[in-house]
Amino acid sequence: MAEKKARKAKAEAPSEAPKRKTAEGKLNVYSLDGKVAGEQDLPGAFKTDFRPDVIRRAVTAIEANKRQPYAPSPMGGMRHSVSTWGKGRGVARVQRLMDSSTAAQSPNNVGGRRAHPPKVDKDLGCKINKREMALAKLSALSATSRTELVRSRGHKFGEELTVPVLVKDDFESIKTTKKAIEALASIGVYDDIQRALDGKNIRAGRGKMRGRRYRIPKSLLVVVSKECPGARSVKNLPGVDVTTPAAMNASMLAPGGDPGRLLLISEAAFQLIGAWSR
């Protein structure tokens, strides 16, 4: 249903308004109709040295620490009444079902226990220094302000747009997904959401039977100052993630460890990011 609404709103959305280039170190501020409503200086947080190696380590640690320990049931494959025939019958000395010749329970038999299963007491996490994690977040944030990196990551957006895409705080007041799509199309970033929708595919392997049937490419990362109607209106669009400056991390800014995600930031959230210091 959300996908049909997205396509319909895209068709009804107004044509993209012309954009203008801005000076080095400055960002255009866009209104909901796609027009340039002002300029803002790029904060120091976006000027951190680009360290793809640190970003990759931080994202690896974040994803590893999300993993939940798992193991088979202690009685998995053991719920049988079995015995061994012993020697002298010319057959293998494996456990067999009672009153049957069917082998069971041993790891090499169908339906048997696992020989060396994973254990819940294994630590799947990955340690990383706090300063290194902070550097990775700022470095990944800096990468979002480099147009060549954002385009090389596959994102699609208007030629004249400055990145990250800075929008008026009116965006946080949008109450419906349809109006949000119209605003994104006017600004010139809806093509990236359409790219994610077109890239949706069925997941390979058993994950598709466990509630993860589809894989969708990442598109916009929308940064708002707080929980608001605008955040709820876009969070269901394909590939879109919504966060606040306080909850932002390197994994959101560089999914999979690949820096250069396309950001759309409200002015209020932009001011909060500008207050960061290393």
pLDDT number for residue 3: 62
Whole-model pTM: value is: 0.82
Fold classification of 2-66+127-274 is Ribosomal Protein L4; Chain: A; (3.40.1370)
Q: What percent of the chain has pLDDT over 70?
A: 91
Distance in angstroms (rounded) separating the CA atoms of residues 188 and 13: 11
- Domain definitions of the chain by residue range: 2-66+127-274, 72-117
Exposure b/e, 46-61, CB count within 10 A at least 16 = b: bebeebbebbbbbbbb
Q: Are 230 and 173 in contact (CB under 8 A)?
A: yes
Distance in angstroms (rounded) separating the CA atoms of residues 57 and 10: 38
Predicted confidence (pLDDT) per residue in 213-249, tens digit: 999 999 999 999 999 999 999 999 999 999 999 999 9
Q: Which residues pair with 28 in a beta bridge?
A: 39
User: Has residue 190 got a pLDDT over 90?
Assistant: yes
Report CA-CA distances (Å) from 161 to 27, 99, 189, 239, 276: 9, 76, 9, 20, 24
